[in-house]
Amino acid sequence: MPSWTDPAIRTFDDPHYIYVNREIVVSQKPDLPPARHQLLLFIPGTHTAGTPPTGKGPSEFLKLAANLGYHVVVLHYPNDKPAAVCNLDRDPKAFEQFRNAILAGGSSKHITVERPESLENRLVKLLVHLKDKRPREHWEEFLHDDGSIKWRSMVVAGQSQGGGHAALIAIQHEVARVICTGAPKDYSHALLRPAAWYSEPSATPKSRFFAFNHDQDHMGNCSPAQQAANLEALGLNKLGSPASVDTEPPPYRHTRILQTNCPGHKVAPPEAHATMIANKNAGLFRAAWTYLLTEPAE
């Protein structure tokens, strides 16, 4: 529980979850992949309360990551408001201000988050807690000696709102990899263009950004065409045109933009929005997930 790690955390107190293959990170069995010494931070979307091993959430994707040698954390955080509340704001910085309040604490027009409740504080306090409670798993390697987050050892990933948070974190901090599913969706209807923060100088090279989206995803008041414009604003199209995982084999021309139209007929937007990361599609998308988690990214 978040409040177990910091008594100053009093809201959004559903559990965090961790995934770790102890035969890899503790026993170092030679017949298994080596430990990657990277933390996959998975950030769920709006109104999503964690991802228990059974039930809702992308547990199959997260277990795959752990079995590939990652430490994995699924963080619960203030996520009751969607970033789409900024769609009609004329301030080009509206989306960034909204997200920064959640990431680091602070206020925007639409939200106020105290520093203890922020995503960053929750991550730091969880890692300190795991370092003390599970010392053989070496969670301390994701924190600097001063207790700050060692972003370069992080792979930030997320679904929907969480994917937007992951991308903004990577703009602001150098991370090892970024994985966005059903995201990023920050498109201004007031200004008729992608959010301004996509075009800001990026601390993380764009070759480390990956996106996996659905051809029919209209969630977040963002159409597939607008989401494509967002990815273009991020500069990912310069690394290759989108590859359909439905028709192209891995390594998908080494592009950073993956698409699907699964199951091949018209589906409702909520289903399309979650298709790429749904447990029921683990067999169908395992190759794509493995690509997102392991494709070399300099």
Residue 65 contacts residue 55 (beta carbons within 8 Å): no
Helix (H, G, I), strand (E, B) or coil at 107: strand
Q: Report how far apart, in Å, the C-alpha atoms of 217 and of each of 186, 259, 271 are.
A: 14, 11, 8
Burial (CB count within 10 angstroms: exposed 0-12, middle 13-18, buried 19+), residue 235: middle
pLDDT category at 63 given cuts 50, 70, 90 is very high
- What is the pLDDT at residue 49? 57
Taking the CA atoms of 110, 115, 117 and 118 in sequence, report the sign of the dihedral they define. positive
Of the candidates 141, 106, 126, the residue with the CA atom closest to the CA atom of residue 50:
126
DSSP-assigned beta bridge partners for residue 112: 107
- What is the pLDDT at residue 47? 81
- What is the pLDDT at residue 96? 97
Q: pLDDT above 90 covers what percent of the chain?
A: 95
The pTM score is 0.95
Average pLDDT over residues 28-55: 82
- What is the pLDDT at residue 186? 96
Residue 208 contacts residue 179 (beta carbons within 8 Å): no
- What is the pLDDT at residue 298? 86
pLDDT at 290 over 70: yes
pLDDT category at 110 given cuts 50, 70, 90 is very high
- What is the pLDDT at residue 228? 96
pLDDT at 48 over 90: no
**Which CATH architecture does the domain made up of 2-294 adopt?**
3-Layer(aba) Sandwich (3.40)
pLDDT category at 54 given cuts 50, 70, 90 is very low
Average pLDDT over residues 234-257: 97
For the chain, the structural domain boundaries read 2-294
Average pLDDT over residues 146-163: 96
288, amino acid identity: A
- What is the pLDDT at residue 55? 43
DSSP 12-24: S-SPPEEE--HHH
Average pLDDT over residues 220-241: 95
**Averaged confidence pLDDT in the chain:** 94
- What is the pLDDT at residue 97? 97
Average pLDDT over residues 260-287: 95
pLDDT category at 53 given cuts 50, 70, 90 is very low
Question: What 8-state DSSP symbol labels residue 229?
Answer: H
